Structure 1
């Protein structure tokens, strides 16, 4: 489905991504986590070919499927077009349009709104719908839960990752490691542009992961009370 081979993105002497290699299998859901500035969004842009002028990309990206992007910001929406018009403009088919608005719980009132009339949570659902309505086999979601509290983030990730059953592969980028572990098969952990861990959720439960992954897990407020060493554990 998707294979990344020794991918680096540089701006002068600064490496934003450093020799990253991983793959995403057919129908697999992969989460990408890391602190701000770790290279997550740069990776998303590289997958779509959105490397800015003045940056250099090295290594290979091999993908045998079309990719749809769920962008991080509602600023990507067309401010002059109603939600329904934007969805229909990208829809793979009329059936896909109706399936998507039903799944994302977009009623007539919301569909008739302009982006400037949407709340933060509404805008996030519309961005997800814009990705899903295209009917692509591979979906890349860049921080789809940014700006939401943990409970709403979990709800939105559930909406996203249950959208197409088992027919779609996904790469979901997020800072919320706790929410991601409930909805993906595997975690890729980035730190300062490097891929430092590639771990299944089950392996992580039993602490078979990199110390940095453990530190990210322990840093979540939900785990500050744990007395077992804050392990990336089933008790979370």
Structure 2
């Protein structure tokens, strides 16, 4: 693998550690300046590793954009924009996992119907509770759709493991769960009750999730696919 992949992934790790230290000590101003660079370096590492698989690094770049929007989590419009960025990014990750499993072959039409129905069912089932929490119907719809797609990351990664990509797709399973934990903490802190060092816990699980999902995809292509 290209040495620059290791260099930029190392920069991702270094910035992540620095940001977590700042978050733990609640040094908000320098942390907000540093925050977008973690995903920037991870995306660049993915570009160098797999330049012919844009969905992976575009998904990571969308994570960076989402990070920028969520610098102001109390602003509902920016929160909605951030959730939308992450939603599209995870859709790209899922597309790449499916591409790995089926080697680029077309899927049956009913697959898309089943997935769409499952997402819609999740969105509607949790709509009343989510609407009560955030008080905004658009944010509720996008947020519920995003959570459903995020859960799909782990589900599709699990299916990939059963299809023989166990070594690296397991990272996607753990990454999806870690990402979900981060978002549940974010929801708690933003819409229910804030708490001390919230950003430390949010970013810890978020950056771990991003690293595992992207690494799982890259390593699968490089060593297993």
Does TM, normalized by the shorter one, top 0.5? no
TM-score using structure 1 length: 0.28
Higher Rg of the two aligned structures: 1
Give the TM-score taking structure 2 as reference length.
Answer: 0.29
Select the structure that is richer in helix. 2
Q: Which has the higher strand share?
A: 1
By relative contact order (CA 8 Å, sep 6+), the higher-ranking structure is: 1
